Amino acid sequence: MINLDVEKKKIYDVIGAIHDVHKYLGPGLNESCYQEAMELQLQDSAIPYKREMTFHPIYRGRTLEATYRIDFLCKDDIIIELKAVTELNANHRAQLFNYMRLLNRPCGVLVNFLPKFADIQRYFYDNESKNILAVDGHIIKNYRDI
């Protein structure tokens, strides 16, 4: 079973880096601007990361040709998806949840930089139960309902 307290501590500095980017740049820019700034902030904060990491899903032990790309993979465990949209929706969350599940990573952060205050949503994937959990520990049963 996933230990949420441990995972929350693991992403603390990453969340701080996100806040730093939004505080400095402010709201209303395009996603690529925030991505570039986020990369610089991760470097300045000495947080290990990979930007725009591509991967191929596995089906019954075979690699598919389909290619997906995540915005950032930090500390080899934390998937970060950046958005600059009016409002985060179920499709954005489903994208993050699928990446977490397909890559078997325990932490996911969905960020919307467009609002006055950055919308930062943290989620966790329990590989044992195959559930996505909200930050308070409740199971998210239907990605489209949140």
Q: H or E segment at 82?
A: strand 78-83
CA distance 81 to 107: 11
Does pLDDT of 145 surpass 60? no
The answer to whether 68 and 94 are in contact (CB under 8 A) is no
pTM over 0.75: yes
CA distance 72 to 79: 6
CA distance 69 to 17: 21
Report CA dihedral (134, 137, 138, 140) to the nearest 10 degrees.
40
| Interval 89-135: pLDDT, tens | 999 999 999 999 999 999 999 999 999 999 999 999 999 999 999 99
